[in-house]
């Protein structure tokens, strides 16, 4: 069964396709910029800035990555470790807090809920935490700083 399209339906389709196309282009452009900048030398990027097309083709960045493969693999190991452990700890902590806060007989339920919500909304920010961890606690450059 074929539906006869009215002028307003056609206009809507054109606008929807245009919107989706523009949105898709905006989503793809950062990846194009990353690939383009990886194929351009650092000196050219410093002098002329980033561009969507490589100005002078250079494989210098890829050479650097493959020369320092151990460092790259270590960085991926830290990333995977933090993702797995952080997700596991976060899941356990959130489930435990959610269970406790859902119990009507927990006397301090409202106080604890308020403290959790308040600190979520009004955090100190990333820079004060960095200064505290690196300067005060001396954890700069260690795995302990992540936790």
Model confidence over 81-110: pLDDT tens digits? 989 999 999 999 999 999 999 999 999 999
Residue appearing with tokens 């494989």: 59
Render 2-45 in DSSP notation, one character per residue: PPPPPHHHHHHHHHHHHHHHHHHHHHHHHHHHHHHHHTB-HHHH
The DSSP symbol for 72 reads: H
Q: What is the pLDDT of residue 84?
A: 95
Q: CA 78 to CA 141: how far, in whole Å?
A: 12
- Give the predicted TM-score (pTM) of the model: 0.57
Angstrom distances, CA of residue 123 to CA of 92, 127, 137:
22, 11, 19
């Amino acid at each position: 069964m074929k539906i006869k399209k009215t002028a307003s339906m056609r206009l809507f389709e054109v606008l929807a396709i245009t919107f989706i196309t523009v949105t898709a282009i905006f989503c793809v452009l950062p990846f194009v910029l990353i690939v383009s900048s990886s194929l351009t030398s650092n000196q050219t990027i410093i002098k002329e800035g980033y561009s969507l097309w490589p100005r002078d083709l250079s494989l210098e960045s890829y050479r650097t990555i493959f020369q320092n493969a151990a460092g790259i693999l270590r960085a991926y190991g830290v990333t995977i470790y933090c993702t797995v452990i952080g997700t596991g700890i976060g899941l356990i902590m959130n489930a435990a807090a959610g269970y406790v806060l859902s119990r009507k007989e927990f006397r301090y339920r409202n106080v604890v809920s308020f403290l959790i919500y308040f600190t979520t909304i009004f955090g100190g920010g990333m820079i004060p935490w960095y200064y505290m961890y690196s300067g005060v606690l001396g954890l700069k450059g260690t795995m302990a700083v992540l936790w």
